[in-house]
Amino acid sequence: MSGLTVLAVVFVAYALAAARLDRWWITAPMVFVAAGLLLGPHAVGILPFSLSSATVLTITELTLALLLFSDGSTIALRDVEGDSKLPDRLLFAGLPLTVAAGTLAAHFVFPGVQWALAALIATILAPTDAALGLAVVTNKVVPVRIRKALDVESGLNDGLVTPFVTLFIAVTAAEEHISGHAWAAEAFRQHSPFFTCDAVVAEACSFFPDPRPVLTLVSRGDLLLDFNLAEQMPRVLALVTKYADRPMDLADACVVRMTELNERCKVWTVDRGDFRAYRRHGRQPVPSEFPPND
């Protein structure tokens, strides 16, 4: 049975049981998340997918777009024109103040986090979702004006913050790139030469329109190529297979293998997320040096 067939079966099953599930406050996202966990590669395995798959990326983007803007598209203008003051306050005063307060909270809860990343966290969390407060929005005890204002706000807030999410992602990425570049340059000045492999050099060259800066580091001895991929292929393949869900690329697999061959080495990398997750010899953390969190 193909993945699309499985998804179609799950969708039809939910459609048949939706009315009954609504009585128990079980929403469609809950059902499909549970189905994904149960049928995905980490459980039954009849719904194979990869996070790097172009199809999965396209489906995710379409789903996100539909979820973000479906509520807003159902709002009738006549519901807003009669009393727009309260929704205006929620959207243009309450929402920015929530983002600002969330930015301060994120900065203090996660010490050392950059302000742009703190703002990104706050902007993602600030928009309310009417589905989470459905009991309030549908409760007849709550005044109609309040319920209508919450419904309007929850339908429009995602669309309003989306440009700022994109902005803060770009600023965070730029800050990481700048700080990582300065840290790497200082590391070369103080600790070169570094042992590396052909795959890392090739990947580094791909980041530049001109590969000569990277090749110059190899030529003058700042980077020493000391890894035979042909000899180490069985272990490299095993590592790539083990971390296929991330996925692990060839350069990372070669570096992890190099740490297994030299117990006293340390990996200098800006890839904090992956190298904190990787393990050498099965369970040992990979000794790594990362840029400081400014």
**Which long-range contacts (C-beta less than 8 Å, at least 24 apart) are formed by 234-238?**
235/260
pLDDT band at 274 (very low <50, low <70, confident <90, very high): confident
Distance CA 131, CA 136 (A): 10
Q: What is the pTM of this model?
A: 0.50
pLDDT, greater one: 253 or 31: 253
One-letter amino acid for residue 294 of the chain: D
Q: In this predicted structure, what is the pLDDT of residue 214?
A: 87
Give residue-wise pLDDT tens across range 6-60. 777 888 888 888 888 877 878 777 888 888 888 776 677 776 666 556 666 777 7
Q: Which residue has the tokens 């969708």?
A: 11
Q: In this predicted structure, what is the pLDDT of residue 82?
A: 64
One-letter amino acid for residue 272 of the chain: R
Pairing of strands 223-225, 267-268: unpaired
Cβ-based neighbour number of residue 188 at 10 Å: 15
One-letter amino acid for residue 215 of the chain: L
pLDDT band at 256 (very low <50, low <70, confident <90, very high): very high
pLDDT band at 68 (very low <50, low <70, confident <90, very high): low
Q: Which range among 17-26, 109-118, 183-192 shows the weakest confidence by mean pLDDT?
A: 183-192
DSSP run (H or E) holding 187? helix 144-191
Query: Could you tell me the two tokens for 151?
Result: 């419904």
Q: Which residue has the tokens 């600790």?
A: 191
Of 213, 240, 220, 243, nearest to 229 by C-alpha is 240
Distance CA 224, CA 208 (A): 20
Give residue-wise pLDDT tens across range 191-234. 778 899 999 999 988 888 888 988 998 998 888 998 999 999 99
Q: What is the mean pLDDT of the chain?
A: 80
How far apart, in Å, are the Cα atoms of 254 and each of 104, 187, 276? 40, 21, 16
Evaluate whether 201 touches 218 at the Cβ level (below 8 Å).
yes
Q: For the chain, first and last CA: distance in Å? A: 50
